[in-house]
Chain A
């Protein structure tokens, strides 16, 4: 059975079917469509228990086509607005809409809908994972470390925004495209990062988030209208980060930083893929923030050991990144890099440009770095004071343990 049914077939097919059916029946009928698709999978899961169909994918697609008529009947019974089949979409066109390239087209339309600026930025991620990726609310909640109820609220809000703004189910064209594409890439980037910053406990579903972000990014690259240099760079960045996924925690579920990761565990095929994609990304002269982030990630991967990292180059990439996307977190990282190369003067110059307020609940990162600075410059009392400040606000148990370990080292000094 393993060799017959592809991993995640149902999940991926769910996204496909919801997208195609939405293209036929419109975003207004999303509820009915999602129920109908869910129904197909329940049926499949029961009828395939004893005997798998010869071609599971074709079976599911046929089932989705059959659903078209069911939905049509249901809409008629509810006297809802019916799509005008005479105008454009007849039975033959419906068959065409289930061809592979049209399915991909429908999925792209769904991605652009999910990432529309009219949707609250938080809601976009949940809505995309539900409709494009076929995750359940429970799976989304686990993956995003959020309560199922708040995911449900986000989904409802997203639907409402779609209705109220009367969003069209299409791929934007012309001038609107670059801006909308940016919003899509941002969502994919966020989905990926949610997955990347995980620990063993919820490892599986979080890894799936990374894979999902990459799958959707690939979809953008496959289409000639939606592929762009920034999109290639984003995909390369995801490859580089994914290459390190397995080395990020040890057997005891402790977070390992770059210094302690076993570099032999890094996935060379993903690094190679990232490099190949990166060549495509730099064919044009203008670079996006994804270009620089990918360059930074690649630089880390190039070093055979932590000590051999080319910090100068990394600092340079961060300067470029901060120029087009000024952010306190970049400055903080630059300070960390300076500490790494014992350039304490510049480290404090960067640190002086930011304050704990910039990092809100993650201010412990700031205090932690400041503590490192003081400990490096032999001001141990201040170093301990700052670790204490960090410990006061840190929530994540793993990070807390990490800081406590640091404090102990300082006290033993």
Chain B
């Protein structure tokens, strides 16, 4: 078994004018998805991220404070799951609830170093 990270970008709820009803339904879908992974015993962790960010860049360590509106593809959160291969994670990622809002799931394998 390997570890993979599913990284979620786009679909920032704050900018989409979603209704309370929409938000409740989406929350329900996220909750169900998380539950499904947990019951399957493959969930290793995960977090949602606040949209404000501080970016440090370049040799001068230039600092900028940014909000989600200033960043095109902001990372909104991630899940860490255990799976056999990319295909297995791709299957898991089918249940990601926000594709219709332009959300993206990026699957990356966690690198393992020889001990």
Residues of A within 8 A of B (CB): 1, 5, 8-11, 13-14, 38-39, 41-42, 44-50, 52, 134-139
Contact = CB atoms under 8 A, between A and B. Distances in A.
Contact of A49 (B18, B22, B31): B31
B21 interface: yes
B17 A134 contact: no
Nearest to B47: A50
A290 to B, nearest CB: 29
Nearest to A205: B21
B20 A134 contact: yes
B34 A11 contact: no
Interface size class of B (residues with CB under 8 A): 20 to 34
A136 to B, nearest CB: 3
Interface centre among B18, B23, B77, by most chain A C-beta atoms within 10 angstroms, is: B23
Given A49-B31, A50-B34, A50-B46, A41 B17 contact: no
B34 A49 contact: yes
A13 B20 contact: yes
B31 A134 contact: no
A136 B25 CA distance: 14
B27 interface: yes
Contacts of A45: 13, 23-24, 26-27, 30
Smallest CB-CB A-B distances: 6 pairs: A136-B19, A10-B20, A49-B30, A10-B24, A45-B23, A45-B27
Contacts of A39: 14
Contact of B21 (A11, A38, A42): A11
A368 B80 CA distance: 64
B101 interface: no
Contact of B24 (A5, A47, A135): A5
